[in-house]
Structure 1
Amino acid sequence: MIKYILAFVILLAVILIAITVGANNDQVITFNYIIAQNQVQLSTLVAVLFGLGLILGWLITGFFYLKLKLKNLALSRKVKRQTVLINELSAAKNKAV
């Protein structure tokens, strides 16, 4: 529950910062693409690039988090199999002695 509240507060802070930065920049600038150019307000450009960076960062973080979760699940299964094998070998050794 605390994790969701913290995530909401961080998201709210990011949105407020983006609005604050964007509200003060109403100049029209020329934005050059690789093959074209466009005239946009600086506040719009800042908001779009900020949003794209935020989404890209979350995607990269999510990818690595998912990768670690899958590795953790695989290692947990391996530990369980090895524990069962150790218990079987211990039981066989106790019967033999």
Structure 2
Amino acid sequence: MLKYILSFVIVLAIILVAVTIGANNDQVIHFNYIVAQSELQLSTLVAILFGLGLILGWLITGFFYLKLKIKNMALNRQVKRQSQQISELTTARKAA
């Protein structure tokens, strides 16, 4: 339930930012990037850069989340293996 509320708030914030950005920024600017040049409205440029930043942020967050997930799986396997070794040692000690 919390996940749905959080995703709704994020989508609502993105829509609010997009509407705010596009409201009064109709000025045309020259944008020079590495291989070319173009004329864009300021609101369009800001929206594109905002979207790229959002996507880049999600990719970086996803990378670290995946890294932690893999580390967690490895540690869970190690705990399972060690608990199995402990139970084998305790049963061998009781038998002796």
For structure 2, the residue ranges without an aligned partner over 5 or more in a row are none
Distance (whole Å) between structure 2 residues aligned to residue 93 and residue 74 of structure 1: 29
Q: Deviations over 1:18-57 (max 9, x none)?
A: 2212221000000011132111000100000000100110
Aligned length: 96
- C-alpha displacement at 1:85, in angstroms? 0.5
User: What SS class does the counterpart of residue 19 from structure 1 fall into?
Assistant: helix
- Aligned twin of 1:79: 79
Distance (whole Å) between structure 2 residues aligned to residue 19 and residue 62 of structure 1: 27
Give the TM-score, by structure 1 length.
0.93
- 4+ long deviations beyond 4 Å: none
Amino acid at match of 1:85: Q
For structure 1, the residue ranges without an aligned partner over 5 or more in a row are none
- Aligned twin of 1:16: 16
